[in-house]
Chain A
Amino acid sequence: MRRSWLFFSLGSVSQVCQVVLLRELLTLAEGTELTIAFVLGSWLTFVAFGSFAATKLLTRKGQRLDPALSYSVASALLAASVFFDLWLIRFSRTLFSLPPGEPLSVAQWLAVTIATLLPICFIVGAQFAFAASLANPSGVYIAESVGAVVAGALLSLLLLRWFDHSSLSSFFLALHLLLSSVLLWLHRPNARWVSAAISAVAGLSLVFAPLVEQKTQAVFWRSMFPAAEEVHSVASPYGSIAAIKFSDQLSVYQNGHLLFTLPDQGDMASLAHLILLQHPKPRRVLLIGGLGGWVQATLQHPKVVGVDWVELDPTIPQVVFSLLLSRERNLLSDPRLRRYTADGRSFISQARQTYDVVIVVAPDPTTAASNRFFTKEFFSEVLRVLRPGGVFALHGLREPPAGFGELYFARNHCVYATMFKAFCEVLVVPSSPLTLLGQCPANSSPPNELAKLTLDEQTLLQRAKERGLEGINLFAFTDPIQVERVNYELKTGLPFNPLEREQARVLRPKWLNSDINPTVYFLSSLLWLRMGSEKVARLLEFFVFLPRWSIWLLALLPFGFWLVGRIRSANWAAPATTIVVISGVGMLAELTVLLTFQARFGTLYLQVGLLFALFMLGLALGALVAERNEVSNSVRALALLSIATLTSTLVWLGLVFCFPQLPPAVVAILCGCFMVLFGCLVGAAFPLTVKAMRQSGIDESKAAGLTYAYDLVGGALGAFIFGAILLPLWGIPNLLFLCALLCFAAATICLAQAKLP
């Protein structure tokens, strides 16, 4: 067991590679949950392949591999692969001869993703199998989990803020290489020169990391935007930020994706004026997001005595203001402006202050993270901080491109209907993207006529004149035809164009958009996919039309899996089925905890990173406890574990419904506890399955390899099918209930197996 701790670095390095490569790959594609799910799912699958292959090589008859030597050589190969991958990702635009600004196509991105992940994951998986044959497999599993926890926490809390990807990877790789050489030294004293060579590789990787980073970044930006006059890039916990000067403009990129360009030629400033003009006397304003013209315009209103401006990533304003002209920089010194670094939603939910105007500049709800600003829970939080007669503006909903009508209309209508349920009046501004204005809680009315929402150009210009604001151009947002069109379309979910309407098929989602039923997010994902790949989107549309009851049929899957195993007379079919189920359920439960936490507290990567770490901690604890306790019948123990998972899932389901009523601190603590609990359950499944397989006659290293692979298969299924597709479509409550059924099926199978001869 003591030697198992040498494999601690395997967990750390794999965690760091996963984070670094995920962030790098997202610079080449849009970072929605689907892309993330693909990367994570592929990661698990390829690691499983690596583990399988290595298990096979270790257990074959005749020439067997030396596990210590293989482990160490694999560490050196891993280091080489990571640096090669960083280069490949950043060079890929040049490789495909893409013109400046053009992102990779879906096929190209998939090719790069697979080419980068396959070697690394394969090596990590193989290293686990080598390690499992050098020490106690469960001990290795525990050490690996602890390594991942520590690396995850360090990355989230400290390292990602200060270090670039190459330096981060090289540090952890060096540690891994050194521990590998120690291991080789201990197991094969006669292979000292190999140990020394591996240590040298560790040193080299540390020395050359900054150079690799600098050169590869230069390659990337040269292919992306060759005319850039100045590239200023900084690390941020949310991804690398680059500010690029070009002519009289400043463009800000996050993870290689254009965020915005300044100055914004007045479009957003005019929109901010239009919103503030809705209120007769706006004194206190809350602005969530929205660099560019928003802040300037808000401060121009003479009655405004305070603007609270909330930005998630402090790096962006810092970079922007350090490069902007002094006039814009002076903004920061306006005593009325208070800047906060926080997640907009959690700021609102915890705010003690109330406001006359609340403006939220949100991205289109194509991700679960941005969907949080379009849900009924969020709208009721906004109403809490809105003074009587106050105005709420939500900017960020994209309009449908022609020909994609139905899904788009359905999605935008769902946002409107959700908002209409919360506010007594909702008015849509034909900006690009759309802005929705809301006022007063539903079932009440504005305090007076003057305070009513309006998009009448003359009225608004008159108000602007009274406030001494001249030269404001509101036409783009008040054109009567456009105003009528967008309001009609969002209100009815139908096209305004009568010709189009005649032939339109109404696709109205039955549910309002909520944190636990993110309908808008799912419809957005479909749209996003449909623009990228018609075929994939059609495949997913299949799920939209599935009758609701069909979800419960999925609970039969474990029986199918087990039966196939039985038919093939695999007497380890029950433990294999159980570990697939528990890993899948664990992955899904982990996702639901994250989503619930995220909905309440925001996309604060730091806390989300900590939650991941808690899960890994649970994993290590669960494995440790299950490993230490001798059980006479492991299959029966797995049945009990399934029942424990079932109970935990149901308790968690009950809590999800109570969360809106609970104080934030309690929610945070409960989320943390359940992360550990679900981690424990998944972690305990590993040693129990290994034991059950061994009891069915398989030798130890093969049992460990198989278990690891099935564990990853379950995780991948949980991430791909449940997390990416079914969760947004069917919502958290239904899926948690399905999880409980799956656990029930696994428990039944184990009990049945225990009874069979």
Chain B
Amino acid sequence: MPDRREFIRNLLFGGIGAFAAICSNCQFASSQIQRKNSSTPLVEIPQRWWKPLPNNRLQCFICPSNCVLSDGQVCGCNTRLNVNGRLMTMAYGNPCIISVDPIEKLPLHHFLPGSQTLSIATAGCNLRCLYCQNWQQSQVRPDQLRNYNLPPAEAVKKAKEHGIQVIAYTYTEPVVFWEYAMDISERAKSEGLKNVVATALFMNREPIREWCKVTDAFAVALKGFDDEFYRKVVGAPLKPVLDAIVTVKSEGVWLELVTLIVPTLNDNMKQIREMCLWIRRNLGTQVPLHFGRFVPEYKLRNLPRTPVQTLEQCRDIALDVGLQFVYLFNVSPHDANHTYCPKCKTAVIRRLGFKVTSNDLQRGICPKCKTRIPGIWQL
């Protein structure tokens, strides 16, 4: 007489059979949906950025994680992997986002205002921000998405074809497709185009210095000023980011900072003041700082967006500390979208969201009091 055990056995066999059938067909289904996956190209990364270790292992030095990868292992940033003891990238020539955006979206307010960028991003990120706005791309590997085939030469050609002067590496984290971004940047630079980068800059100093050679502006996300917040919410320590920002500044590349204020997580006004003081001490008062409004996304989709009052308080603190160009981001219309002359307080560039509605600057000079406003205003 069959008993419970037999019943479970029947169920199990039936279940395994069905599962096997589904899996075998699933291959067929997924190959239709994600045509490019099977052919995700792998490109070797120059040995300057990694070192081989015994037993086919290797160590990568691009970002402060300094990962040790064993043979076949994909790194935490989702794009680099160890293939037979050599460091390869899956991101090269393999972007998941190509779009045309206003440069204000990066945000860069002192760099060719009103211009358009050809924005490029691949899957992957070396951080894990719980509120990432592009998590569908940043938290997966390139082979998990449908990508374009866009070699560097093609990217530059497309930008020129569409009359775009600036190529932006943004949306996800350009550090993870840095080799690809570098190659596009070099070509773009040689053909008279500009390169701008929006990044969280969790990167080692040497590669940053290399990057600065071909990059015209950095919009760096300084996500907070508390190591615990960085470790818990961003997924990395704070110190390397601060060092990296100072490196960019010391290389003389145009730099703007953006801090997204997340309610209850990094909206402590004491820390905001400390951050502004650090900026004044290490980068000067002329570095534009953007306070961004958090909107519920990804893992923090049940936190309310940042109250405008909070953002205004942050801005007041930054101005009080002496920073000259402090903007609010993701809040529009708002007076803090405009650029003001630090001397006569005239609104020299007016914006509505990402749109420049008027630009009265004359070659970077305030039309009223003739003060020079720092930034890159012409090609």
Contact = CB atoms under 8 A, between A and B. Distances in A.
Tell which of B134, B233, B299, B304 has the most Cβ of chain A within 10 Å: B304
B32 A403 contact: no
A541 B2 contact: no
B304 A258 contact: yes
16 contacts: A100-B264, A101-B264, A102-B302, A248-B309, A258-B304, A261-B305, A402-B97, A402-B136, A402-B171, A403-B123, A403-B147, A476-B353, A499-B158, A565-B2, A568-B10, A713-B11
A485 B11 CA distance: 51
A508 to B, nearest CB: 14
B144 A226 contact: no
B99 A497 contact: yes
A251 B303 CA distance: 9
Contacts of A407: 33
Nearest to A51: B4
A101 B333 contact: no
A91 B165 CA distance: 53
Nearest to B19: A539
Interface string A461-491: 0000000000001011001000000000000
Contact of B302 (A56, A257, A402, A545): A257
Interface of B: 1-4, 6-7, 10-11, 14, 22-23, 25-26, 28-30, 32-33, 35-36, 96-99, 121, 123, 130, 134, 136-137, 140, 144-150, 158, 171, 232-233, 263-265, 296, 299-305, 307-310, 331-333, 352-353, 355
Contact of B232 (A99, A225, A258): A99
A538 interface: yes
Contact of B296 (A52, A56, A258, A561): A258
Contacts of B303: 100-101, 225, 258
Given A505-B35, A534-B144, A545-B28, A404 B353 contact: no
Interface of A: 52-53, 55-56, 99-103, 224-227, 244, 246-249, 251, 253, 256-258, 261, 265, 401-407, 473, 475-476, 479, 497, 499-500, 503, 505, 531, 534, 538-539, 541-542, 544-546, 561, 564-565, 568, 570, 697-698, 706, 709, 713
Tell which of B2, B97, B265 has the most Cβ of chain A within 10 Å: B2
Contacts, number: 154
Contacts of B3: 56
A405 B26 contact: no
Contacts of A225: 264, 302-304
A539 B28 CA distance: 11
Given A102-B130, A249-B307, A541-B33, A497 B98 contact: yes
Contact of B146 (A99, A244, A403): A403
A57 to B, nearest CB: 11
A538 B25 CA distance: 10
A258 B302 contact: yes
B263 A246 contact: yes
Contacts of B99: 402, 497
Contacts of A531: 136
A94 to B, nearest CB: 14
A246 B304 contact: yes
Contacts of B147: 403
A256 B301 CA distance: 11
Given A102-B299, A538-B30, A265 B308 contact: yes
A402 B146 CA distance: 9
A568 B7 CA distance: 11
Nearest to B158: A499
Given A99-B232, A101-B302, A248 B307 contact: yes
B184 to A, nearest CB: 14
B123 to A, nearest CB: 7
Given A253-B302, A403-B145, A544 B2 contact: no
Contacts of A401: 134, 136-137
Given A258-B301, A500-B148, A402 B33 contact: no
A100 B307 contact: no
Contacts of B35: 505
B312 to A, nearest CB: 10
B290 to A, nearest CB: 17
Given A103-B301, A503-B149, 18 more contacts: A55-B4, A101-B296, A101-B299, A103-B302, A227-B264, A246-B304, A248-B308, A249-B305, A402-B96, A402-B134, A403-B123, A407-B33, A473-B352, A475-B352, A505-B33, A565-B2, A697-B1, A709-B7
A405 B35 CA distance: 13
A541 B98 contact: no
Contact of B137 (A402, A500, A546): A402
Nearest to A256: B302
B54 to A, nearest CB: 34
Nearest to B330: A265
Contacts of A544: 29
Contact of A403 (B2, B23, B136, B332): B136
A568 B271 CA distance: 72
A499 B26 contact: no
A52 B145 contact: no
- 6 closest A-B pairs by CB: A101-B303, A247-B307, A403-B145, A251-B304, A227-B264, A101-B300
Contact of A541 (B23, B30, B144, B333): B30
A595 to B, nearest CB: 25
Nearest to B155: A499
Nearest to B11: A713
Contacts of B333: 473
A247 B140 contact: no
Contacts of A261: 304-305
B264 A52 contact: no
A538 B300 CA distance: 25
B198 to A, nearest CB: 15
A249 B25 CA distance: 50
B218 to A, nearest CB: 23
A402 B137 CA distance: 7
A542 B10 CA distance: 24
A539 B264 contact: no
Nearest to A471: B333
Nearest to A432: B295
Contacts of A475: 352-353, 355
Contacts of B309: 247-248
Contacts of B130: 99, 102
Contacts of A706: 7
A539 B304 contact: no
Contacts of A479: 355
A278 B355 CA distance: 24
B338 to A, nearest CB: 15
Given A246-B304, A542-B29, A568-B6, A100 B265 contact: yes
Contacts of B11: 713
Tell which of A55, A227, A403, A475 has the most Cβ of chain B within 10 Å: A403
Tell which of A53, A101, A538 has the most Cβ of chain B within 10 Å: A101
Contact of B140 (A265, A499, A500, A534): A534
Contacts of A499: 98, 148, 150, 158
A261 B301 CA distance: 12
A56 B233 CA distance: 50
A244 B29 CA distance: 45
Contact of A570 (B2, B158, B301): B2
Tell which of A99, A244, A531 has the most Cβ of chain B within 10 Å: A99
Nearest to B154: A499
B120 to A, nearest CB: 10
A288 to B, nearest CB: 23
Contacts of B305: 249, 261
B96 A403 contact: yes
A541 B123 contact: no
Nearest to A550: B25
Given A99-B232, A101-B302, A473-B333, A246 B307 contact: yes
Contacts of A248: 307-309
B6 A99 contact: no
Nearest to A507: B33
